């Protein structure tokens, strides 16, 4: 994988120590070319939430965002990342999503 790729883990409804909503707790990976870590951490949740069609659901996730941090590719491999192949560039930066059907 290219050195230009950055991976961000985006976590909802939990943190490392306490989990008040264990049944909802979840984490996702975002694949980007955003080099600025702070900008990448800011953009990653919005990149991820664009996949939700329902604005109410997306807002519920935004309201329960608990962590965003950069991880390396070996950590990202714990998630389903093989389908993140479609390259998109827009106002958020350059990122990858699953190919449209």
- Total-model pTM: 0.85
59 pLDDT band (50/70/90 cuts)? Answer: very high
The answer to whether residue 85 scores a pLDDT higher than 50 is yes
Q: Closest Cα to residue 93, out of 56, 27, 50, 40?
A: 40
Total structural domains within the chain = 1
Residue 51: the pLDDT is 74
The answer to whether residue 20 scores a pLDDT higher than 80 is no
Say how far apart CA 28 and CA 10 lie, in whole Å: 5
23 pLDDT band (50/70/90 cuts)? Answer: confident
Domain-located, residue 1: no
Domain-located, residue 26: yes
Q: Please, what is the average pLDDT of the chain?
A: 87
Residue 55: the pLDDT is 84
Domain-located, residue 22: yes
Domain-located, residue 85: yes
Residue 19: the pLDDT is 58
Q: What pairs with residue 69 in β-bridges?
A: 9
């Amino acid at each position: 994988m290219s050195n230009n790729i950055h991976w961000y883990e985006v976590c909802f409804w939990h943190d490392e120590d306490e989990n008040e909503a264990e049944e909802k707790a979840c984490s996702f990976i975002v694949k980007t070319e955003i080099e600025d870590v702070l900008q990448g951490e800011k953009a990653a949740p919005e990149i991820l939430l664009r996949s939700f069609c329902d604005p109410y659901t997306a807002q519920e996730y935004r309201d329960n965002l608990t962590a965003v941090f950069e991880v390396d590719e070996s950590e990202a491999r714990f998630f389903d990342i093989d389908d993140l192949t479609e390259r998109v560039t827009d106002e958020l930066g350059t990122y990858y999503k699953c190919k449209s059907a």
